[in-house]
C-alpha cells in the first residue's frame, strides 16, 4: 500500500530517493560489452543477440521485404492511429525549428548564426514486452524535422528474429532510414563504434534500461547523447476536488512500467490522500502487470500531504518530476509557478498517457530530478549552431589596438600579434 507522509516531517533526501548510477556489476558488464563490440563487430552483436534475446540472426538489418510485410500485417485502424499521432507530433515539433540570423547593421561588419543538422543519429527503442511504436515516433520525427541525413533505429528482436509490425510501421511513418535488430548495451556500442553492418553515428538518443543508460554514459564524448535517463516518474499535484479513481489510475500508469518507477501524489487534502490510497489497491488487482506496479508503489511510491497548494507547488519544484499533472481547479493559475518539470499536464482531462502517445509534445523526458537543468527531447537535440564573422580591413584596423591590449592582458602575445600583423601589412602596402 502507498504510504501517506506529512511533507513537512520529511528530510529533503527522504522526499524521493533516486539514484541513476549503475551498480558495480552492471558497470563492469557494460565495459566488457563495449570493448567486445568495438573489437569484434557484427560477430559480437550476433552472439549477444543470441545469448540475451534468444534470437539467431542472419542479417542484423530489417529488410525492405520485412517492412512491407509488417505494413500489410498491421490492421488499418491502428495504422491510422499511428499516422494521426505522427501528424500531431510533427505539428508540435515544427514550431521548434530555429531560423538563421545575420547582423549587417554596422558598416564593414557581418556576423550571424546558422543551424545545421547532425549528420547521423542513432535511436534506441526498448522492448517491454515489445518495441514501443510511440518511442519511435517521438524520437525519429524531431530528427527528421531537424534535417538529419541518416536516422538509424535499433530495437531488440523477438525470439523468432522479428520486430513487431506496429514498431516497423511506426518506423516507416516516422521516416527512419535503417533499422537494426539490436538492443541493450551492445546496440549502443554498435552505434558508437560502428561495425561491418551498423554505421557509426554522431549522436545516440532514446530511452532504455540500466544497461543502455550506462552504455550511453560511457560512450559520451565519442558520440553525443540526449540524456542518461533513470526510471519513469509521475507526480500528480491534486486538490480535494479530484476524483480518487482518476488520480489512482494516473499513478499506476507509470508504476506499471518498472519496479523502479516512482508514482507520487502531492495534495493538501487528507480525504483525497486516503481515498487514493484505497483506490490504488482496488485498481492494482485489475492490471496485467500488477506485480510490477505493486512493487513500484510500495517501494518507490508516496503520498505527500501538504498544508496548502502553495506548499504542494514548492514540493513539485523540489522533486522536478519527469511528468507533472496539475489536477486542480485552475491549473493555469499554477502553471507560471512551475519551474522544474519535464512535461506538464494541465487539468483533470489531461492524463499523462495523452502525452505518451498522441497529443504531440515529446515523451522522451528528463528524469531523476534533471528537469532542474534539462529539457524534453526536441528538434534542438538534432542540430548544431555555428557562428560566423566578417570584418573589413578598415574596421579591423580601428579595433586592433583594443583587441591586442585585451590579449596581452591575458598573457597571450600571439593572439595580439595575429591582429596587429594585419594592420602592419596594410601600412607597409601603403
Query: Catalytic site residues?
Result: 322-323
| Cβ contacts of 101 within 8 Å, gap of 6 or more | 112, 113
CA 61 to chain centre: 24
- Give yes or no for a contact between 179 and 197, defined as CB atoms under 8 angstroms apart: no
Among the listed residues 386, 388, 383, 392, the one whose alpha carbon sits nearest the alpha carbon of residue 423: 392
Cα dihedral sign for 277, 280, 285, 289? negative
Coil, strand, or helix at residue 354?
A: helix
**How many CB atoms are located within 10 Å of the residue 394 CB?**
10
Bridge partners (DSSP) listed for residue 155? 181
Distance CA 186, CA 48 (A): 7
CB 298 within 8 A of CB 243: no
Residue matched to cell numbers 504510504? 3
81: left (phi over 0), alpha (psi -120 to 50) or beta: alpha
Could you tell me the three cell numbers for 39?
Answer: 573489437
* Residue 391 to residue 250: CA distance in whole angstroms: 58
Q: Which residues contact 165 (CB under 8 A, 6 or more apart)?
A: 69, 70, 71, 73, 74
Any idea what DSSP says for residue 61?
B
Bridge partners (DSSP) listed for residue 237: 266, 326
User: Measuring CA to CA, how many Å separate 369 from each of 19, 130, 287, 364?
Assistant: 10, 28, 28, 14
Our CA angle for 394, 396, 400, nearest 5°, is 125
DSSP line for 245-300: HHHHHHHHHHHTT-TT-EEEEEES-HHHHHHHHHHHHHHHTT-TTHHHHHHHHHHT
Amino acid at each position: 500500500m502507498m504510504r501517506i507522509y506529512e511533507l513537512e516531517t520529511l528530510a529533503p533526501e527522504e522526499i524521493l530517493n533516486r539514484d541513476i548510477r549503475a551498480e558495480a556489476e552492471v558497470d563492469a558488464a557494460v565495459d566488457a560489452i563495449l570493448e567486445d563490440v568495438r573489437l569484434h563487430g557484427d560477430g559480437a552483436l550476433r552472439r549477444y543477440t543470441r545469448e540475451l534475446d534468444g534470437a539467431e540472426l542472419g542479417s542484423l538489418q530489417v529488410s525492405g521485404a520485412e517492412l512491407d510485410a509488417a505494413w500489410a500485417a498491421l490492421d488499418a485502424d491502428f495504422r491510422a492511429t499511428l499516422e494521426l499521432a505522427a501528424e500531431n507530433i510533427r505539428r508540435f515539433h515544427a514550431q521548434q525549428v530555429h531560423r538563421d540570423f545575420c547582423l549587417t547593421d554596422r558598416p564593414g561588419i557581418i556576423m550571424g548564426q546558422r543551424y545545421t543538422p547532425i549528420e547521423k543519429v542513432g535511436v534506441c527503442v526498448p522492448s517491454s514486452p515489445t518495441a514501443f511504436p510511440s518511442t519511435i515516433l517521438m524520437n525519429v520525427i524531431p530528427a527528421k524535422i531537424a534535417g538529419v541525413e541518416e536516422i538509424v533505429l535499433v530495437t531488440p528482436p523477438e525470439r523468432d528474429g522479428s520486430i513487431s509490425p506496429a514498431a516497423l510501421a511506426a518506423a516507416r511513418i516516422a521516416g527512419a532510414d535503417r533499422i537494426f535488430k539490436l538492443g541493450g548495451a551492445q546496440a549502443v556500442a554498435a552505434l558508437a563504434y560502428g561495425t561491418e553492418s551498423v554505421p557509426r553515428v554522431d549522436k545516440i538518443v532514446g530511452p532504455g534500461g540500466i544497461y543502455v543508460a550506462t552504455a550511453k554514459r560511457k560512450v559520451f564524448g565519442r558520440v553525443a547523447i540526449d540524456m542518461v535517463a533513470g526510471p519513469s516518474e509521475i507526480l500528480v499535484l491534486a486538490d480535494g476536488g479530484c476524483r480518487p479513481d482518476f488520480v489512482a489510475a494516473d499513478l499506476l500508469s507509470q508504476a506499471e512500467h518498472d519496479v523502479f518507477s516512482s508514482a507520487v501524489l502531492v495534495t493538501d487534502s487528507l480525504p483525497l490522500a486516503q481515498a487514493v490510497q484505497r483506490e490504488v489497491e482496488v485498481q492494482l488487482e485489475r492490471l496485467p502487470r500488477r506485480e510490477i506496479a505493486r512493487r513500484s508503489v510500495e517501494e518507490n511510491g508516496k503520498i505527500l500531504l501538504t498544508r496548502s497548494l502553495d506548499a504542494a507547488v514548492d514540493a513539485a519544484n523540489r522533486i522536478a518530476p519527469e511528468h507533472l499533472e496539475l489536477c486542480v481547479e485552475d491549473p493555469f493559475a499554477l502553471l507560471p509557478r512551475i519551474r522544474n518539470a519535464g512535461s506538464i499536464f494541465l487539468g483533470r482531462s489531461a492524463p499523462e498517457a495523452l502525452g505518451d502517445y498522441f497529443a504531440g509534445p515529446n515523451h522522451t523526458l528528463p528524469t531523476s530530478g534533471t528537469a532542474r537543468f534539462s529539457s524534453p527531447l526536441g528538434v534542438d537535440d538534432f542540430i548544431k549552431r555555428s557562428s560566423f564573422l566578417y570584418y573589413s580591413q578598415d574596421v579591423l584596423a580601428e579595433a586592433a589596438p583594443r583587441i591586442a591590449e585585451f590579449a596581452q592582458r591575458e598573457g597571450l602575445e600571439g593572439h595580439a600579434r595575429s591582429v596587429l600583423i594585419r594592420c602592419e601589412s596594410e601600412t607597409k602596402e601603403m
